[in-house]
Amino acid sequence: MRVVLLGAPGAGKGTIAKLLTEHDGSVQISTGDILRAAVKEGTELGKEAKGYMDRGDLVPDSLIIKMMEERLQDEDCEKGFILDGFPRTIPQAEELKKLLERLGLELDLVVNLEVPTEVILDRLTTRRTCSNPDCQAIYNIKSNPPTEDGRCKICGSPVIQREDETEEAIMNRLKTYNEKTAPLISYYENERLLKNILSLNSRETVEKVKEALQG
Ligand code: AMP
């Protein structure tokens, strides 16, 4: 399958993408994960992207487009891909369209994951991450807390709040989403590719995506 997942930060794009890869061997491509890995490794891309990411701003289109042009031509994309976090702006969507045309490929579906704002805010502000770069286990202070002294249950390292998950950065990410990414909903509606799915339970959402792909 060749699918784009749209949705606000915290809508669960990563979780849904992972579950969908189990379906037919398509790969998950998360621009956020690729960028975080580049920051960790200290590559040129990582150095350029870090400031934008920490503030909750978007990384410039030119960097993202170059990165995705390369990634989408990797061999593992042959069985299909699930794009999680890309495109994030209209220029990115237009470049993706041109790139896929050049490669002789078409998108099957664009899914817009609809999640109430209260649920999103709650998820983002309660999320914590293990600070050990080789572990990065995810915790939630309400539903899955770390140890009492704030350490990772797997490796014992301190569990922290990601820099882009402070309240200020979260509010900025949501504002950026509304201004820059939400317009993609009408863009893909016009392209006759859009399916809106109210997403409260990941397994149910995955079933709805599979149904939409068949219809
Ligand atoms: P995510 O994990 O998808 O929430 O992405 C984390 C951060 O990476 C975002 O807040 C942006 O700073 C950056 N980012 C990820 N994907 C993109 C994209 N397609 N365009 C611009 N910036 C991106």
Best probe residue, ligand 1, of 5, 53, 67 (max atoms within 8 Å of C-beta): 53
Q: Judge whether 88 counts as a catalytic residue.
A: yes
Q: Which of 2, 13, 50, 128 is catalytic?
A: 13
Instruction: Answer yes or no: is pLDDT of 13 > 80.
Output: yes
Q: What is the pLDDT of residues 193-206, one digit of tens each?
A: 999 999 999 899 99
Q: Judge whether 71 counts as a catalytic residue.
A: no
Q: What is the pLDDT of residues 45-101, one digit of tens each?
A: 999 999 999 888 999 999 999 999 999 999 999 999 999 999 999 999 999 999 999
> pTM score > 0.75 for this model?
yes
- What is the residue with the minimal CA distance to atom 3 of ligand 1? 32
Specify the amino acid at residue 205. T
From the alpha carbon of 176, which atom of ligand 1 is closest?
Answer: 10
Does ligand 1 come within 6 angstroms of the Cβ of 88?
yes
- Judging by beta carbons within 10 Å of its beta carbon (0-12, 13-18, 19+), is residue 13 exposed, middle or buried? buried
DSSP H or E stretch at residue 90:
helix 90-103
Domain boundaries, the chain: 2-26+79-214
> Distance from the CA of 53 to the center of ligand 1, in angstroms?
7
Q: Which of 2, 50, 128, 162 is catalytic?
A: 162
- Give 81's strand partners: 2, 27
Closest CA to 8 of 140, 122, 117: 117
From the alpha carbon of 35, which atom of ligand 1 is closest?
Answer: 8
> What's the mean pLDDT in 179-183?
97
More reliable by pLDDT, 63 or 215:
63
Q: Judge whether 192 counts as a catalytic residue.
A: no
From the alpha carbon of 173, which atom of ligand 1 is closest?
Answer: 10
What distance in Å separates the CA atoms of residue 65 and residue 112, rounded to the nearest whole number? 21
**Tokens encoding 144:** 């899955």
CATH number for the domain whose boundaries are 2-26+79-214 = 3.40.50.300
